[in-house]
Chains A and B, each alone.
Chain A
């Protein structure tokens, strides 16, 4: 089960991002959220949502949803394995707010029902 997004319903309000950061930090601080509104293409009105899961990225582009395995991108790479560790969980993987009543939080705050679980 994971967080999924209907990208067309999204209006980019970032409520999901804010409440996720609260889940991480007990404060408001966008940087720690694992669900993030992608808003770098403002002039083109191209925006979507990305969710970081344990082993994959859920990428909700307006044209469609993609679930991309983290590490799958390195298939063609010649890099051999190494004993270095996972990044220090700067963006922690989504835990579906397992300790929260009527979570996940992002699902509960989206005004348009664009965020759901599957």
Chain B
């Protein structure tokens, strides 16, 4: 596989400590495109070993707007189904440029280990010094050890180590879209974290045309309905929760985009520092990046203040525990103050019942179009069907799932066209139908 690819699948077996490689077959891409189109095939191939498959979309890390996405495909501890977690911020691109297109992690290690992925090399390292430490400490230590502060860290905290069903795989210091308890699987494998640094180069089959089309879309998006909206508050307002901006406004520092995503979907709250401060804060931990709007909503619904909700998010991120389900459990158990909630965290082992248990795409992503017209009505089942397909397409091509809700211009035809321009592969027009048909039953 020559284009938009590192032409490498890494297979890491913790039981045997073996690392092996396979090339990425062009035929595989022609039939399955990328992202979950291929992670599912790899998961199926190695399913005896209960693998965790990391991957990236075919278009991830290119100039196509919103092309930020990495994915984790694994069997969810709470449902037993093969599910997918989107990886946003910079983790998707770091994976894409790391020299691997896909990583299959299987088996169980005897002692705690971590994976260091760099330049097409997968190193299994001893995590004795890291096990037992929270995700923030681990991220800091890995970055210090490797000498680079932009290394992306997919890790677990105390929750994953303790086998909690609420355990989340976190991204650096922040919560991820993992609603499935995949942190528990990492914990079972004694895998503390996966550290990734991408220094590679991605070739494009028809660079001029590809870039020209991407640039046109970027220009188009400048006048899209979402233009000018920023962050978690505006997102939630669009979902009908108008008071978010005023509730958390006093704590908002800045908004952050995921890679190449025209609208910032993350908001940094300063909990322990003056939010107006633009200079570098002298505090080591001035606040928290809100990457999970629906979790924030759930915490607000508990009756917490914005500051307390922020503290709760920070504590959950450090522990590597899903804040959305934490809020649900807290509600169920009457733990409606910050102190009570934090005190109850270590006891949160069994997942509360959730409405999404039969699904496969992370419900971290809101379930309807945002600032975009996709020509669907207001019928709930129609929207649900549309949403599932739209998520599937996003996870296959590598588009930020939330951005996918606002970008009708990134139609399936367009994405397929870009994929063809990028790779010189002639995709069948019904390829997406076939893949989606296989994924969604």
A residues touching B (Cβ–Cβ < 8 Å)? 8, 11-15, 18-19, 22, 25-31, 39-47, 61-63, 105, 108-109, 111
Contacts and interface: CB of A to CB of B under 8 A. Distances in A.
Contact of A27 (B199, B203, B230, B287): B203
A45 B261 contact: no
Contacts of A61: 278-279
Contacts of A41: 149, 280
Contacts of A105: 215
Given A13-B258, A43-B136, A45-B256, A28 B201 contact: yes
Nearest to B4: A28
Nearest to A16: B260
Contacts of A26: 204, 207
B259 A14 contact: yes
B262 interface: yes
Interface string B246-274: 00000001111111111110001010000
A63 B280 CA distance: 9
B285 A43 contact: yes
Chain A, interface SS category: mixed
Contacts of A46: 280-281
Given A30-B97, A31-B199, A63-B278, A19 B63 contact: yes
A111 B263 contact: yes
Chain B, interface SS category: loop
Taking each of A8, A19, A22, A31, which has the highest tally of chain B beta carbons within 10 Å of its own beta carbon? A22
A44 B277 CA distance: 11
B23 interface: no
A111 B136 contact: no
A44 B286 contact: yes
Contacts of A30: 97, 198
B62 interface: yes
Nearest to A31: B199
Contact of B172 (A12, A29, A42, A108): A42
A39 B173 CA distance: 14
Contacts of A62: 254, 278-279
Contacts of A28: 61-63, 201-202, 204
The 7 closest A-B pairs by CB, nearest first: A29-B201, A40-B149, A111-B262, A13-B257, A11-B257, A45-B268, A62-B278
Nearest to B231: A11
Contacts of B365: none
B149 A15 contact: no
Q: Which of under 10, 10 to 19, 20 to 34, or 35 or more describes the interface residues of B? A: 35 or more
Contacts of B286: 43-45
Given A39-B150, A45-B254, A15 B260 contact: yes
B173 A43 contact: yes
Given A11-B264, A25-B201, A43-B286, 13 more contacts: A11-B255, A12-B257, A13-B258, A14-B90, A15-B218, A15-B260, A18-B260, A27-B204, A40-B150, A43-B285, A44-B283, A108-B219, A109-B215
A25 B211 CA distance: 13
Contacts of B262: 13, 111
Contacts of A45: 253-254, 256, 268, 270, 281, 286-287, 289
B46 to A, nearest CB: 30
Interface in B42-70: 61-63, 65
Contacts of A14: 90, 93, 259-260
B366 interface: no
A31 B281 CA distance: 28
A11 to B, nearest CB: 4
Interface in B271-316: 278-281, 283-287, 289
A27 B263 CA distance: 25
A13 B278 contact: no
A34 to B, nearest CB: 16
Interface string B117-139: 00000000000000000001000
22 contacts: A8-B254, A8-B278, A11-B256, A14-B90, A15-B260, A19-B63, A22-B211, A26-B204, A27-B203, A28-B61, A29-B200, A39-B150, A41-B149, A41-B280, A44-B280, A45-B268, A61-B278, A62-B279, A108-B219, A109-B215, A111-B262, A111-B263
A29 B287 contact: no
B63 to A, nearest CB: 6
A97 to B, nearest CB: 12
B221 interface: yes
Nearest to B150: A39
Given A13-B258, A18-B63, A111 B221 contact: yes
Given A13-B258, A13-B260, A45-B256, A111 B222 contact: yes
